[in-house]
A and B are shown apart, each in its own frame.
Chain A
Amino acid sequence: MHNVVCIKQVPDSAQIRVHPVTNTIMRQGVPTIINPYDLFALEAALELRDKFGGEITVVTMGPPSAEDSLRKALTFGAERAVLLTDRCFAGADTLATTYALATAIRKIGKDYGQPDLIFTGKQTIDGDTAQVGPGIAKRLQVMQLTYVVKIGALDLTARTIEAERRSEGGVQVLRTRLPCLITMLEATNQIRRGAMADALRAARAPIVKWSAQDAGVEDISKCGLKGSPTVVKRVFAPSARADKATLVEPSEEPAQALIDTIFKHQPKLEADLAALAGNV
């Protein structure tokens, strides 16, 4: 089988700092990583390949430096990596991103075989919208299974797949048709330690690099900033609350003092709490 996995290189946001005066992101020295959620998608694809054979193509849209994340994906065992990079993609919102990625995935299908499954992470840690997956599915006119916790029966002859997906209040089990786009939920698996052979191969493997034109983009006005219906007008730091917390003075009985302060602050709360506690 042929599976395509969409990964994104993101700044390691745990290490992002905001400049206290200018409110701008201090990016210098912030390392980039593969979006952590995408590793669950990659591992799910790897497990299927181990079971059913075939290959995995990883694809990313990003600056030339995003090649690093593709090489990393190759060390885990993906067969092929496609880097979609072009100035005209810059500033893309989700709609423009899905246009570019869907176009590239069509081209991947033509060049390397039609994909059976397309994987994305649940969301990115920088964009954080969880929309790119459903958007790609819609653009490619394929079925979608989002928030998948477990992939069940897969029948490559009948072209069907069963999966369990998280929904509000429970897990929905669905059967649908291939090709299908899957967004994997986090913590559903753990990315493997790549084999030594893959690490060696990844270091030297050729990366397929496509410009918009190479990928088959027909309408450049649908890409990047131009193709983005959303516009960011303002970026600002969350405002601080004017008053700091009232500190409970140290005392012999701090618990008692705290409770007194709480009920002094909000007298109504006592009746509410008594009612709740009565149910214990």
Chain B
Amino acid sequence: MTNVIKAPASSAAGRAAAKKELPEHFRAYKHVWVFVEQERGEVHPVSWELMGAGRRLADKLKVDLAAVVIGPEGEAARNAALQSFSYGANLVYLVADQVLADYRNEAYTKALTDLVNSYKPEILLLGATTLGRDLAGSVATTLLTGLTADCTELDVDSDGSLAATRPTFGGSLLCTIYTLNYRPQMATVRPRVMPMPECIARDPGRIILHSLDLIEADIVSKVLSFVPDRDSSISSLAYADVVVAGGLGLGSVENFELVRQLAAVLGAEHGCSRPLVQKGWVTSDRQIGQTGKTIRPKLYIAAGISGAIQHRVGVEGADLIIAINTDKNAPIFDFAHIGVVTDAVRLLPALAAAFQARLSPRLRDRVVSHDFRGAPQRRRGP
């Protein structure tokens, strides 16, 4: 009675035998859709990542890729629609209405389910963000179709079904899930799991306007206010080019400062493994892994992290993974590209100094300024 799957050994076999017998009324469902998530006028980058994945699915199926833009009327919605073409969409469905100014489940669920019922996509992808998960659950239940959450791989198999792969059992295993006989086949993917596709200027294609048919008085929930996060770097961890992270091997909260210091020298973000959050050394927004952030930096330095599977799934997309660990048998060396078997507490300061010398010779004699109690401030600009 688990959600999604039961013990894999038994029921997976039972279900693998399930047959595809798509009912007649679902045969008209065609094309791949990506929900383009906007919040407060900005498109969440996960939408473009999904557009890349959606493009691959659409090409394999030889169908169109459509972007679904839902939001208030105005520049932002128009830009999101136009950008969608640059990221690979063939057409855009646009629902623009003032009542969609803030995300509210009722209005967005109606907009998206109406679109699906009118234009019938076979695949619908959303980002597994707070907004995307809130919306996807409601839409899938309204449509009474299958939804596979937090996928790490999307593919189309020989009979044209969406094969959605996701971690299960705390990440120890992966499973591939199908929605054989219902449409659309829905899936969510977390930010940074899929690579960002290229943005190529293209002529805009067709934009199909759809009206919402809902007035403010119909909507029960009212937004009273929105309090933006003060520390914007929290959200940028997922999108940082360079990340330095520490784990339990650092031994103490004081030693975690060494991670922050190296990050400061590199202009990087810092992160950590889960036990450091549980110990209260680091805030939960900094956790990397299955239950934290997924990252895809050009360079990831992991100091004193064993490389448990739940951590691994969050960092595998990094171009270059450096592991510093005293135990040469630590699992992190199975997926890191470069390893150093040594005490991270001693190597980190030396690394900071050496990087500084190498990267900004001009600054060689200047001491990096740190606030030893908090994160070093990153200064931008001239």
Q: Find out whether the CB atom of A254 lies under 8 angstroms from the CB atom of B347.
A: yes
Q: When A95-B140, A273-B299, A277-B355 are in contact, do A230 and B173 touch as well, CB less than 8 Å?
A: no
Q: When A128-B150, A229-B146, A244-B333 are in contact, do A273 and B226 touch as well, CB less than 8 Å?
A: no
Q: Find out whether the CB atom of B40 lies under 8 angstroms from the CB atom of A237.
A: no
Q: Does A187 contact B (CB under 8 A)?
A: yes
Main secondary structure on A side of the interface with B = mixed
Of A125, A134, A173, A187, which contacts B138 at CB under 8 A?
A: A134
Q: Find out whether the CB atom of A247 lies under 8 angstroms from the CB atom of B340.
A: yes
Chain A 163-190 residues near chain B, CB threshold 8 A = 164-177, 186-187
Flag the segment in A17-25, A49-57, A67-75, A208-216 that touches B.
A17-25
Q: Does A279 contact B (CB under 8 A)?
A: yes
Main secondary structure on B side of the interface with A = mixed
Of A18, A229, A278, which contacts B144 at CB under 8 A?
A: A229
Chain B 267-278, CB-CB to A under 8 Å as 1, else 0, gives 110000000000
Chain A residues with CB under 8 A of B313: 238
Closest to A229 in B: B146
Of B105, B169, B176, B284, which contacts A233 at CB under 8 A?
A: B176
Q: Does B148 contact A (CB under 8 A)?
A: yes
Q: Find out whether the CB atom of A276 lies under 8 angstroms from the CB atom of B320.
A: no
Most buried by A among B8, B14, B235, B265: B8
Flag the segment in A109-117, A198-206, A256-264 that touches B.
A256-264
Q: Does B75 contact A (CB under 8 A)?
A: no
Q: Find out whether the CB atom of B338 lies under 8 angstroms from the CB atom of A172.
A: no
Q: Find out whether the CB atom of B1 lies under 8 angstroms from the CB atom of A61.
A: yes
Q: Find out whether the CB atom of A232 lies under 8 angstroms from the CB atom of B175.
A: yes
Q: Find out whether the CB atom of B133 lies under 8 angstroms from the CB atom of A146.
A: yes
Number of B positions contacting A (CB below 8 A): 116
Tell me the minimal C-beta distance from A88 to chain B in angstroms: 10
Tell me the minimal C-beta distance from B301 to chain A in angstroms: 9
Chain A 1-36 residues near chain B, CB threshold 8 A = 10, 13-14, 16-18, 22-25, 27
Of A63, A98, A170, A265, which contacts B226 at CB under 8 A?
A: A170
Q: In the bound complex, what is the Cα–Cα distance between A17 and B102 (angstroms)?
A: 44
Q: Does A234 contact B (CB under 8 A)?
A: yes
Flag the segment in B48-56, B59-67, B83-91, B217-225 that touches A.
B217-225
Q: Find out whether the CB atom of A279 lies under 8 angstroms from the CB atom of B339.
A: no
Q: When A143-B221, A245-B338, A247-B328 are in contact, do A233 and B178 touch as well, CB less than 8 Å?
A: yes
Flag the segment in B27-35, B179-187, B197-205 that touches A.
B179-187
Chain B residues with CB under 8 A of A173: 223-227
Q: When A143-B220, A273-B299 are in contact, do A262 and B149 touch as well, CB less than 8 Å?
A: no
Q: In the bound complex, what is the Cα–Cα distance between A90 and B222 (angstroms)?
A: 39
Flag the segment in B92-100, B114-122, B247-255, B356-364 that touches A.
B356-364
Q: In the bound complex, what is the Cα–Cα distance between A69 and B225 (angstroms)?
A: 38
Q: Does A269 contact B (CB under 8 A)?
A: yes
Of B176, B228, B363, which contacts A169 at CB under 8 A?
A: B228
Chain B residues with CB under 8 A of A273: 242, 266-267, 299, 355, 359
Q: Find out whether the CB atom of B137 lies under 8 angstroms from the CB atom of A134.
A: yes
Q: Does B353 contact A (CB under 8 A)?
A: yes
Q: Does B322 contact A (CB under 8 A)?
A: yes
Q: Find out whether the CB atom of B173 lies under 8 angstroms from the CB atom of A236.
A: yes
What's the A-B contact tally at a CB cutoff of 8 Å? 352
Q: Does A193 contact B (CB under 8 A)?
A: no
Chain B residues with CB under 8 A of A186: 284
Q: In the bound complex, what is the Cα–Cα distance between A265 and B338 (angstroms)?
A: 9
Q: In the bound complex, what is the Cα–Cα distance between A169 and B37 (angstroms)?
A: 13
Q: Does A40 contact B (CB under 8 A)?
A: no
Tell me the minimal C-beta distance from B144 to chain A in angstroms: 7
Chain B residues with CB under 8 A of A157: none
Q: Does A121 contact B (CB under 8 A)?
A: no
Chain A residues with CB under 8 A of B322: 258, 262
Most buried by B among A95, A98, A170, A245: A245
Q: Does B341 contact A (CB under 8 A)?
A: yes
Q: In the bound complex, what is the Cα–Cα distance between A187 and B274 (angstroms)?
A: 14
Q: Which A residues fall within an 8 A CB radius of B? A: 10, 13-14, 16-18, 22-25, 27, 61-63, 89-95, 97-98, 124-135, 137-139, 143-144, 146-147, 162, 164-177, 186-187, 224-225, 228-238, 240-241, 244-248, 250, 253-256, 258-259, 261-262, 265-266, 269-270, 272-274, 276-280
Other A-B contacts than A144-B134, A274-B359, 10 sampled, CB-CB below 8 A, are A24-B9, A130-B137, A143-B106, A146-B134, A229-B180, A238-B167, A246-B337, A254-B342, A258-B347, A276-B266
Q: Which B residues fall within an 8 A CB radius of A? A: 1-9, 11-12, 14-16, 18, 37, 39-40, 44, 102-106, 109, 129-131, 133-134, 136-138, 140-142, 144-150, 163, 167-170, 172-182, 220-229, 232, 235, 241-242, 264-268, 284, 298-299, 309, 312-313, 319-323, 328, 332-342, 347, 350-351, 353-356, 358-360, 363, 368, 378-380
User: Could you list 19 examples of A-B contacts with CB < 8 Å?
Assistant: A13-B172, A25-B9, A89-B1, A91-B11, A91-B14, A138-B141, A144-B105, A167-B103, A168-B130, A170-B226, A172-B223, A176-B220, A238-B167, A238-B174, A241-B335, A244-B334, A245-B339, A247-B339, A253-B350
Which 7 A/B pairs are nearest by Cβ-Cβ distance? A127-B3, A134-B137, A229-B146, A13-B170, A276-B267, A235-B8, A245-B339
